[in-house]
Structure 1
Amino acid sequence: MAIQGHYFFHHLGMDRDMREQFAGHPNYDRTAEFCELYDSPAFDPMAETLLLAEFEPMVRRLFKHPVNSIYKKAAAMAET
């Protein structure tokens, strides 16, 4: 949260540089980069987005063959 907060904490009167306490952690740079590239832009109301329907085929493929799930039996029965 502190790393994500860099992009919005100042709007809440909080220290946007709170994330610096984690600088030097092995995953700090990768997490900060992820937040910059993917998390922060997700809050832009003017950002171009895809319709949820665009992702439906991917979700269906993913859940078509559960690896280990309580739904595995039900999925197998649905295919027959």
Structure 2
Amino acid sequence: MGMMVTGRKVSETPDEVRYEFGLDRRFDRVLTIDKASWEVSPEDGQLDTAAGAVVSKIKKAWREQGEFPPGVLFAS
């Protein structure tokens, strides 16, 4: 069985960026990424496979584009 995780940027400051994300386009979770350290803080405290997948896609886009993307999609 596959997994699809989507994320969309909801805010960005000079220090951090926040994304809503969830399985199957249900944006029911929020995570914050510290821009200096890349420390990831899911609002619900669960750093699970879904959170890891969306952060991985965000970081890949950031490396390629030099900025945090407006949205990402992970599908397996």
Structure having the higher helix fraction is 1
TM-score clears 0.5: no
TM-score of the pair, normalised by structure 1: 0.30
Structure having the higher strand fraction is 2
TM-score of the pair, normalised by structure 2: 0.31
Higher relative contact order (CA 8 A, sep 6+): 2
